[in-house]
Amino acid sequence: MLRSLFSRKKQQQEVTFLAPLTGTVLPLSEVPDPVFAGKVVGDGVAILPSADTLVSPVDGKVTHLFPTHHAIGLSTESGLEILMHIGIDTVKLNGKGFTPFVSVGDQVKAGDKLIQFDKSVLENAGCPIVTPIVITNGDMVAEKNVVAKATVQAGQEPLMTVVLK
Amino acid sequence: MVQFEVTVNVEGGLHARPAALLVNCSSQSQSKITLSKGTKHADGKSILGIMTLGVSQGDTLTVQIDGADEQNVATAIQQLLEQSS
């Protein structure tokens, strides 16, 4: 019994997410949008950014870049799907204030620049800038641990680890 | 199997929030659900898949539902996509 538990543990794959933004780490429940706060989109964590560049948390592929460039989806080789949504209600900015560095289909490495955004444009439009980072196919996840301390540096420090089923 | 076309009235198109609400509805069903826009198809239970279709407000989607509760799901999905917010 014990042995089978151990051997199973060894086969499990763990994915470490680097912090995709510099800023303050918050639980999803503090995101002012019921769909994210209620984990309807997926489980994860949020960052209140203090700098303006979103980088990739993992090695993967850009599977989705909304035409308005306010949200990006990535897939890892192991099949995890990650959605990062810069700010809340930012779809209404229609792309204003967002500059993407990547396109759909691009391979990215953890730490690569994805999107730059102008915080003042978001704030002037009345959009909260807190950014949810969620796993949209949570059925693959056995365990999620936020390992970051209160504040993180983009691309430098781990944000969370995810153990795959 | 049921198949229908629907014009998406959701403000701003199928971005994260409406996609999540759609998946929330479709994942409660046992049916297989496929959304198609032109030649692109997405699993109706995948948020990222639906967002990747890049559906704007006013676009027409073809929805295919196959399973025991297909009629009920079809009604729910049609309502979700046709409402404006």
Tens of pLDDT, residue by residue over A94-129, are: 999 999 999 999 999 999 999 999 999 999 999 999
Q: For residue A19, what is the DSSP state?
A: P
Give residue-wise pLDDT tens across range B24-64: 999 999 999 999 999 999 999 998 889 888 898 999 999 99
Query: Which residues of A does the annotation mark as catalytic?
Result: 85
ipTM > 0.85 for the complex: no
A31, A39, A41: best to mutate for the B interface, most B CBs within 10 A: A41
**What structural domains does chain B harbor?**
2-82 (3.30.1340.10)
- Cα-based distances in Å from B32 to A29, A92, B43: 31, 32, 8
Q: Which residues of chain A have pLDDT under 50?
A: none
Helix (H) or strand (E) holding A113: strand A113-117
pLDDT value for A113: 98
pLDDT value for A160: 96
- B69 vs B17, residue with greater confidence: B69
Q: Which of B2, B13, B15, B32 is catalytic?
A: B15
Name the CATH topology of A27-139. Answer: Glucose Permease (Domain IIA) (2.70.70)
How much is the pTM? 0.86
- B24 contacts A40? CB cut-off 8 A: yes
- Write down the domain spans for chain A: 27-139
